[in-house]
């Protein structure tokens, strides 16, 4: 392998491949030896604790979400459409690509406290970056007083993604995404806003990767 950073990125990539389709974070550092063909000592140098491995996977997911948010910003001008398209992408990534749902284990203050300082800091930076975008989008859509709309939506998204993953829902079912977004709009307090039509949801799905990755 090349540089230290490249090797670390490769190990996280291998970790995420190993976790595909799993409902629990049952990956340990020792599992990566065979999967990555990298020595145990090198792996343990990259991840001094088991918590470091979990946090590293979470950091990578947060960074992927932020990168996708930037792409969504280029594709959609309307903030509500941009926000909904992004959430559909995340749900599709879970159901079709079988990406491990990191919300099952993070954020978790106990896990973070067991991680090395460098991973704690990197996680906080990635978390803050993504949720700055998240809260800015809610503000642009239009805040509705009375509830913490951001918290309501975050809790709903976490529960909905975990539940649909547990139920092995069809990731190409356009009605699933329509209902998902309907709930998001209601929680945002914008029941007066019209959802995109079914044809638009189908267009979004058609533009997403359709090939399920092997576990």
The tens digit of pLDDT for each residue in 39-56 reads: 999 999 999 999 999 999
CA distance 191 to 179: 13
Closest-CA residue to 123 (of 52, 29, 55):
55
Residue 107 located in a structural domain: yes
Question: For residue 159, how many C-alpha atoms fall within 13 Å in the half-sphere facing its CB?
Answer: 8
pLDDT of residue 210: 63
Average pLDDT over residues 126-136: 97
pLDDT of residue 211: 52
Confidence of residue 2 (pLDDT cuts 50, 70, 90): low
pLDDT of residue 78: 96
Percent of the chain residues past pLDDT 70, beyond the cut: 96
How many structural domains are present in the chain?
Answer: 1
Q: Mind listing the pLDDT tens digit for each residue in 133-170?
A: 999 999 999 989 888 999 999 999 999 999 999 999 99
Residue 215 located in a structural domain: no
pLDDT of residue 94: 97
Average pLDDT over residues 27-45: 97
Is the separation of the CB atoms in 189 and 149 below 8 Å? yes
Residue 211 located in a structural domain: no
- CATH code at position 172: 1.10.357.10
Q: What is the pTM of this model?
A: 0.94
Question: With helix as H, strand as E and coil as C, how does the chain read?
Answer: CCCHHHHHHHHHHHHHHHHCCCCCCCCCCCHHHHHHCCCHHHHHHHCCCHHHHHHHHHHHHHHHHHHHHHHHHHHCCCHHHHHHHHHHHHHHHHHCCCCCCHHHCCCCHHHHHHCCHHHHHHHHHHHHHHHHHHHHHHHHHCCCCCCCHHHHHHHHHHHHHHHHHHCCCCCCCHHHHHHHHHHHHHHCCCCCCCCCCHHHHHHHHHCCCCCCCCC
At residue 1, does pLDDT exceed 80? no
CA distance 2 to 47: 17
Residue 134 located in a structural domain: yes
Domain that residue 178 falls in: 4-206
**Averaged confidence pLDDT in the chain:** 95
Residue 191 located in a structural domain: yes
CA distance 100 to 25: 8
Residue 212 located in a structural domain: no
Residue 52 located in a structural domain: yes
CA distance 190 to 203: 23
Residue 214 located in a structural domain: no
Burial (CB < 10 A; 0-12, 13-18, 19+), residue 24, is: exposed
pLDDT of residue 34: 95
């Amino acid at each position: 392998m090349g540089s230290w950073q490249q090797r670390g990125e490769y190990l996280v990539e291998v970790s995420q491949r190993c976790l595909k389709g799993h409902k629990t974070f049952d990956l340990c550092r020792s599992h990566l030896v065979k999967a990555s063909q990298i020595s145990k000592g090198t792996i343990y140098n990259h991840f001094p604790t088991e918590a470091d491995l979990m946090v590293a996977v979470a950091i990578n997911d947060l960074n992927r979400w932020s990168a996708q948010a930037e792409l969504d910003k280029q594709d959609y001008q309307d903030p509500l459409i941009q926000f909904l398209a992004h959430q559909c992408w995340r749900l599709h990534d879970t159901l079709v690509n079988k990406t491990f749902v990191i919300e099952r284990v993070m954020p978790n203050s106990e896990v973070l406290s067991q991680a090395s300082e460098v991973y704690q800091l990197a996680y906080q930076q990635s978390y803050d970056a993504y949720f700055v975008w998240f809260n800015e989008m809610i503000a642009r859509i239009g805040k509705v007083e009375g509830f913490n709309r951001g918290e309501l939506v975050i809790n709903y998204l976490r529960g909905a993604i975990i539940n649909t993953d547990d139920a092995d829902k069809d990731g190409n079912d356009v009605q699933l995404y329509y209902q998902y977004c309907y709930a998001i709009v209601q929680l945002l307090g914008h029941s007066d806003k019209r959802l995109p039509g079914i044809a638009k949801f189908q267009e979004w799905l058609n533009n997403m990767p359709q090939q399920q990755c092997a576990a």
